[in-house]
Amino acid sequence: TYHITDDLTIADGDTLYLDAGTQFLFDGEYDFNIYGTLKAIGTETDSIIFDNYVDTLRWKGFTLENVLEETEFRYVKISGAKKKEYIPGGGMYLFSSDPILSHMTITNCMSSDSSGGGMHLDNSNPTLTNVTISNNTANRYGGGMYLFYSNPNLTHVTIENNTLENYY
């Protein structure tokens, strides 16, 4: 278990491997930015968890930029993230990125002034298999998922119980 007290960044050209059962608990409004490669590989009985350390301070979720299919999230749980100030993608914001996402849940995330409470795809074509995106909120478009010039490959994906607030 890691108690996160600052932003995390995987630089272009770097690779980070996470073991099954790893927990990242964010103690504040911190980002996890990926420009390189992340291998977050959990198991069916031992997921990798990304959440808040305390519920009152919500972390800012993932931002993936120019990430290729070498980046993989498998048996991962993302929850409690909140993007602010017109930044899309509460749980995950993908810009020109094509990661592999399988056996994942993205829940209770928020994009407070933008779109894609669970996930926002911008010029991205990820592969999602056995993914649940639920109970997320956005203020503009796509409570669960928002697509902008994107074409994800979806297999056994459930997007449910997501909401829009203050649509304007």
pLDDT exceeds 70 at position 71: yes
Cβ neighbours of 26 (radius 10 Å) = 27
Size (the chain), residues: 168
DSSP assignment of 50-72, as one string? EEESSTTS----EEEES--TT-E
The 10s digit of each residue's pLDDT in 38-65 is 999 999 999 999 999 987 789 999 999 9
Q: Say what the pLDDT of residue 168 is.
A: 55
Residue 5 phi/psi, 5° resolution? -125, 25
pLDDT exceeds 60 at position 134: yes
Question: CA 98, 132, 79, 48 torsion: positive or negative?
Answer: negative
Query: Which residues, 6+ apart, have CB-to-CB distance to 15 below 8 Å?
Result: 36, 37, 38, 39, 70
The whole-angstrom separation of Cα 33 and Cα 67 is: 11
Q: Say what the pLDDT of residue 167 is.
A: 60
pLDDT band at 123 (very low <50, low <70, confident <90, very high): very high
The 10s digit of each residue's pLDDT in 14-36 is 999 999 999 999 999 999 999 99
The whole-angstrom separation of Cα 39 and Cα 37 is: 7
Across the chain, mean pLDDT equals 95
